[in-house]
Amino acid sequence: MEKAASPEIGRVAVVTHGKPDTIGDALERLERAAANAGVEVVAAEDGRPDLAVVLGGDGTMLRALRSYLGTSVPVFGVNFGRVGFLTSLSRNELESGLSRVFAGDFQVVELSTLVVDVGGERHPAINDAVATSARLGRMVELGWGLGGEDLGRQPCDGMICATPSGSTAYNLSNGGPVLMWGLEAMAITFVAPHSLHARPLVVPHDLTVRITNRTSDVPVTVLADGHPIGELAPSAFLEVGIGEERSRLALLPEVTFFARYNEVFP
Question: For 125-175, what is each residue's pLDDT tens digit?
Answer: 999 999 999 998 899 999 999 999 999 999 999 999 999 999 999 999 999
Tens of pLDDT along the chain (266 residues) come to: 445 545 689 999 999 987 777 788 999 999 999 999 999 999 888 778 999 999 999 999 999 999 999 999 999 999 998 889 999 999 999 999 999 999 999 999 999 999 999 999 999 999 999 999 999 889 999 999 999 999 999 999 999 999 999 999 999 999 999 999 999 999 999 999 999 889 999 999 999 999 999 999 999 999 999 999 999 999 999 999 999 999 999 999 999 999 999 998 87
Q: Torsion angle of alpha carbons 258, 263, 265, 266, nearest 10°?
A: 110
Cα-based distances in Å from 20 to 60, 89, 106: 14, 19, 27
Contact 127, 166 (CB under 8 A): yes
Which domains are seen in the chain, by residue range? 3-105 (3.40.50.10330), 113-244 (2.60.200.30)
Q: What is the pLDDT of residue 44?
A: 82
Contact 50, 115 (CB under 8 A): no
52: buried, middle or exposed (CB in 10 Å: 19+, 13-18, 0-12)? buried
Angle between helices 94-102 and 26-37 (to 10 degrees): 40
Length of the chain: 266
At residue 27, φ and ψ (nearest 5 deg) are -65, -40
Rg of the chain over Cα atoms, rounded to whole angstroms, equals 20
Q: Is 206 annotated in the active site?
A: no
Kind and range of the H or E element at 166?
none
Q: What is the pLDDT of residue 22?
A: 79
Q: pTM score, two decimals?
A: 0.92
Q: Which one of 50, 58, 117, 225 is the catalytic residue?
A: 58
Q: What is the pLDDT of residue 236?
A: 98
